[in-house]
Structure 1
Amino acid sequence: MENLFHEKKVNKSLTSMIFEKIREDILIGKYPSGEKIVEAKLAEEFGVSRTPVREALKQLELDGLVDNIPNRGVIVKGISSQDVEDIYTIRISIEAIAVKWAIAVKWAIDRMNDNDLQKLKDIYELMEFYTFKNDIDKIAELNTKFHETIYNATKSRYMEHVLKDFQYFMKTTRYRSLRSPGRVKNTLKEHKEILDAFIEKNKEEASKAIINHINNSRENARRTRVKTR
């Protein structure tokens, strides 16, 4: 495996980078629930000593993504069906606040500048392009960037931090959901409705569009889970 850490990222420790990489792999399903993660094997794959890997696994345990079980080792927990339900429910509440209650807290639409809006448009255009190509990986990546642009526009580091955490934990479900028939085109349509509301600076319609998108995503996630059981 290519050493991913030969160019150390600014302001990120080796442990943090390893933690993020393993977390990503768990959330996209590379390490399924119940699989054992071997510390020595990871250290060899990453081309590092076992110490930062061990620390990264401790962080993953704190995040609830793995369990360190005596006499068994580190076992992947992943994201359960109940976790998915909880995340969608909480996300609806928080993300809707980020666009709807601008009168009270001046977030999202009121704080979005021209650069933020242009970035949102650019991301949507790329989503259109990759939807035509049916490139699920790129669509999932752009989906995340689209919502993170909205989070950034709130100019609230606390709101941004919470919502970005939700994005991380939804990766497993998002990839599976986008592969179900018709979901890619519906997702594009839903993001167009969100974008149009932001262009028009219509807080009520933006809130409705986001809630509709999240509810549709949740229903699709439920259907795909049923089919894969």
Structure 2
Amino acid sequence: MDSFKHINSDNPNSLSLRVFKEIEDMILNGEIQPGENLIESKLSSQLGVSRTPVREAVRMLERTGLVQIVPNKGAVVLGIDDQDLEDIYTIRMLIEGLASRWAAERMTEEQIRELGEIIDLQEFYTMKNSTEHINHLDSQFHEKIFEYCNSRPLQHTLSDLHHMIKRYRKISVGSTGRADKAIAEHRQIFEALAEHNPDTAEKLTIEHIANAKENLLKIIREKRN
């Protein structure tokens, strides 16, 4: 955990939140592994803050389910397990399809143009094999649909789910052949959105997430064998 950055803030509530986000990112990126203990004194020293915001951040992490407070052992990292991944992708299939349906009904011509530009950039950087750009644009494509569905509750829910599995989405998109397939699927979804066809947009989005789920679980199984 040597990569922690020192955090400065005069607002105690803001400081606790920033400490929370820093530790959460480390857990979700796999830099802090499941089973590891979060030691207040060590985190306090590494972050350059007092133990109070660290303690509050750990409580916040417990409420998210990423950390469990165990008697006589302290805060133990749970992280994201296989069942969590299965559940998150299944939930995404249900509600991200709805986001695409609503986006198809509500998108403006300007929003269609913006989404088309993202697809064009995805195809360009895939030809260049630029993994960093591919991952960024993949996230941006989905986030724009969340925004364009024009539902704040749905947008916030999906953004939280994507944040939880960002490490795994990078693994999936970065696997051999998946980027090309994902972008082809994005292109089909985009065309349905541009045609304001909610049924097709929803159907294609569900299929896209199902394919991503199958690809990711296959990678995980292969790594363990």
TM-score bracket for this pair, using the shorter chain length: 0.7 to 0.9
Identity of aligned residues (%): 41
Structure 1 unaligned segments of length 5 or more: list them: 101-106
Among 161, 166, 172, the alignment partner of 1:177 is: 172
Aligned equivalent of 2:88: 87
Query: Counterpart in 2 of 1:98?
Result: 99
Report the count of equivalent residues.
221
In 2: Cα distance, 1:205 partner to 1:95 partner: 13
SS in 2 for 1:181: coil
Match of 1:72 in 2: 73
Label 1:204 to 1:119 Cα distance change in 2 as closer, same or farther (>3 A): same
Matched, 1:48 2:43: no
Provide the C-alpha distance between the structure 1 equivalents of 2:192 and 2:86, rounded to a whole number of angstroms: 26
Provide the aligned C-alpha RMSD in A: 2.4
Q: State how far apart, in whole Å, the 2-side matches of 1:171 and 1:139 are.
A: 13
Question: Where does residue 103 of structure 1 map in the other structure?
Answer: none
Separation in 2 of the partners of 1:45 and 1:116?
43
Would the alpha carbon gap of residues 4 and 123 (structure 1) be closer, same or farther in structure 2, given more than 3 Å must change?
farther
Alignment of 1:1-229 (within 5 A): 3=5, 5-6=7-8, 13-100=14-101, 107-229=102-224
**Equivalent AA in structure 2 for residue 188 of structure 1:** I
Equivalent residues of 1:28, 1:175 under 8 A apart: no
In the alignment, structure 2 segments of 5+ residues that lack a partner are: none
* 2: CA distance, partners of 1:40 / 1:128: 47
Moved more, 74-83 or 173-182: 173-182
71-80 vs 138-147, which deviates more?
A: 138-147
Residue identity matched to 2:21: E
Aligned to 2:104, what secondary structure does the other structure show?
coil
Distance in 2, matches of 1:90 and 1:40, equals 37
Letter in structure 2 aligned against 1:187: A
